[in-house]
């Protein structure tokens, strides 16, 4: 049980660092409530699952090429900058207390999925972290335990997703509209900042090849 919990904590630690997905969850939560924020995280988790499967199947070399990485950096930059600008433009829709703006769940899911699937850092993250977990788990507990402990990592990711959704939607209930507008603008700035970084990395990679 202690080993299972350690993998759950690993999932939490993977999801917790501030990044574009967390910023998007915060934005969706204060605008639309719990479920839009939750679905952003679910989209990111599905993307994480795809990369976990790629690492598990040992076909990561298919995406670990300069061309694919350049494409991911540049397309990821577009997704982040677009989402950041949209976040800042739509701040007027925010209402305090229980009043919610209409945020479509499938759009929230797609936002989280695209942010994660186009993030080359996600690839490197899963190659480094999950690759070592695979090796350690297979050597210590056998291949049958891989699915069980991979599920524990997913449980950690899902727990953080629920936490972020609860926190971001809770902000709308306790903060006034002026503060909510400021948070949404800051979230947009963070997303645009990540987008500029992604674009820079993509251009550098493109010029190097």
Give domain limits for the chain.
2-208
pLDDT-derived band at 28 (thresholds 50, 70, 90) equals: confident
Band of the pLDDT at 89, cuts 50, 70, 90? confident
**12 contact partners, CB below 8 Å, separation of at least 6:** 156, 157, 159, 160
Q: What is the mean pLDDT of the chain?
A: 82
Query: pTM for the complete prediction?
Result: 0.82
Beta carbons of 25 and 40 less than 8 angstroms apart:
yes
pLDDT tens sequence across 30-73: 888 899 999 999 999 999 889 888 887 877 677 767 888 888 89
Is pLDDT above 70 for 107? yes
b/e per residue, 98-126, with b = 16+ CB within 10 A?
eebbebebeebbebbbbbbbbbbbbbebb
């Amino acid at each position: 049980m202690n080993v299972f919990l350690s993998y759950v904590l690993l999932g939490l630690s993977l999801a917790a660092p501030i990044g574009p997905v967390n910023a998007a969850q915060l934005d969706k939560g204060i605008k639309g409530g719990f479920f839009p924020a939750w679905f952003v995280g679910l989209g990111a988790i599905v993307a994480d699952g795809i990369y976990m499967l790629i690492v598990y199947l040992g076909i990561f070399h298919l995406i670990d090429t300069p061309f694919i990485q350049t494409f991911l950096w540049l397309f990821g930059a577009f997704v982040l900058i677009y989402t950041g600008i949209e976040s800042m433009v739509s701040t007027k829709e925010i209402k305090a207390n229980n009043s919610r703006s209409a945020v479509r769940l499938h759009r929230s899911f797609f936002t989280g999925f695209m942010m994660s699937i186009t993030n080359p850092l996600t690839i490197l993250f899963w190659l480094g972290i999950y690759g070592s977990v695979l090796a350690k788990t297979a050597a210590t507990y056998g291949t049958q335990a891989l699915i069980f402990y991979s599920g524990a990592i997913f449980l950690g990711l899902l727990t953080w997703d629920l936490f972020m959704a609860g926190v971001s939607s809770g902000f709308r209930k306790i903060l006034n509209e002026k503060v909510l507008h400021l948070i949404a603008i800051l979230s947009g700035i963070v997303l645009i900042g990540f987008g500029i970084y992604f674009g820079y990395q993509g251009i550098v990679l493109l010029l190097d090849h």
